[in-house]
Amino acid sequence: MMKKIFQKTTQIMPNLPIREWVEKRIQFAIAESVAQAHHESKQQLSEFGSEIQAALQGFISELPDKAYVERRVKLSVLEMQGFFDQNVEAVSANLRALGKAISELQQNFQASSRKIEKTQDEITGHNETLEKINMHLHAISKVFSELKQDLQDKTSEIPKIHNDISKKYHELEENLQKLSSRLEFVRMETLYEVQAKLHKTDHSAVAPKIINQAKLDAMKPDGIRLNVGCGHIPLDGYLNIDGRELPGIDIVCDANSIPFENGSIKEILSAHLVEHFSCNILKSVILPHWFNLLETGGTLVTVAPDGGAMLEAVNAGTMSYDDFREVLFGGQEYDNDFHYNMLTVDSFSALLNHVGFSDVKVEYSGKRNGKCFEFRVTARKP
């Protein structure tokens, strides 16, 4: 009967979940084992009693008190049967206890299974979350790698960018210096032109006038020698020139409009004249005009206050402030008695070289002449 029930149950089990099917299978196996053990015990007891009765049948028939013996045998069989029944009952009780323990284990297993399922679900959820995190980490890692590579590329370009910036900076600095120099040059050129125009305007009223033509004609065969800006100190052997018609003057004209053709003068001498012009006028008007008048190989002789020597004298206390001021700025007693420049041997030599003169020589410097210290410089037109 139990076997049929089990076979019938197994036909249903496969449709159940595997865990539930296993639990049912264990329960049916326990019930079947208990029934089978009880049945086999009774069968063995019956067979054993039959064998005893058969074995004792002949023996009892020969005994004088058969009834007594039969009763004793039956009593023994009953006692044995009771013993087997007790053993079977004990085994059944043990099996029932085992079944109960197994049932409790099953319940615990079910509870554990539910916890395991819940844990598995949580693990599955965590795994999905972890998978998403891994995907995000992979994406972040990819972006980080790209950023790292981009940073490395940019970092590798920094020296080149620095060099380019440094190069551009130096180029800009050079251009600014050139621009500054150019602006300064334009400023100075503008001032030169303004001063030159002012100079010409101020002195254009002095029309060139040759007073001593005979002296000029007599000097031509040996070469014309000019003493420009002589004032009250005319010199023999020279055509004495000044802007004022003073005694001993041969030609009245301004220093920048001497009435001779270019390349026709052998020598030009000026004593205490160049300091009456600003550096710009001297460099752009006066000296170029004199340079053009001289013939090739002609000589320019210049005597002027020695600014360097006077500064040393003032510092040493050998030249008074009043004398230094008068020599530096001029006596200022008449229109052309103003000084606009302070020259040294080196600065004037540089001016001569700038205009185009060569063989610049300093005949003397720091020579005392009344209140003034002066120098004498010669130069040649190449």
CA distances from 298 to 118, 287, 330 (A): 120, 13, 30
What are the chain's domains? 2-133 (no CATH), 208-380 (3.40.50.150)
Residue 88 near residue 41 (C-beta atoms within 8 A): yes
Note the pLDDT of residue 141. 82
pTM attached to this predicted model: 0.50
**pLDDT per residue as tens, the chain (382 positions):** 544 544 544 454 445 466 666 667 777 776 676 677 667 766 766 776 677 666 656 655 665 666 665 666 667 667 666 766 676 677 667 767 777 776 776 677 677 667 777 877 888 888 888 888 888 888 888 887 888 888 888 788 788 887 888 888 778 777 767 666 555 545 545 544 555 455 444 444 589 999 999 999 999 999 999 999 999 999 999 999 999 999 999 999 999 999 999 999 999 999 999 999 999 999 999 999 999 999 999 999 999 999 999 999 999 999 999 999 998 888 776 667 788 999 999 999 999 999 999 999 999 999 999 999 999 999 999 9
Q: How far apart are CA 144 and CA 103, in angstroms?
A: 58
The pLDDT of residue 2: 46
What are the beta bridge partners of residue 303? 271, 376
Q: What pLDDT score was predicted for residue 14?
A: 47
Sheet with 209-210, strands from edge to edge, namely 209-210, 251-252, 239-242, 224-228, 265-271, 294-305, 372-380, 358-369
CB 313 within 8 A of CB 319: yes
pLDDT at 110: 72
Query: Distance of CA 105 to CAs 92, 97, 111, Å?
Result: 19, 12, 10
Question: What CA–CA distance (Å, rounded) separates 245 from 261?
Answer: 22
Q: Collapse the DSSP code of 380 into the 3-class scheme (helix H, G, I; strand E, B; otherwise coil) and give the result.
A: strand
Residue 240 Cα distances to 295, 336, 379, angstroms: 19, 17, 20
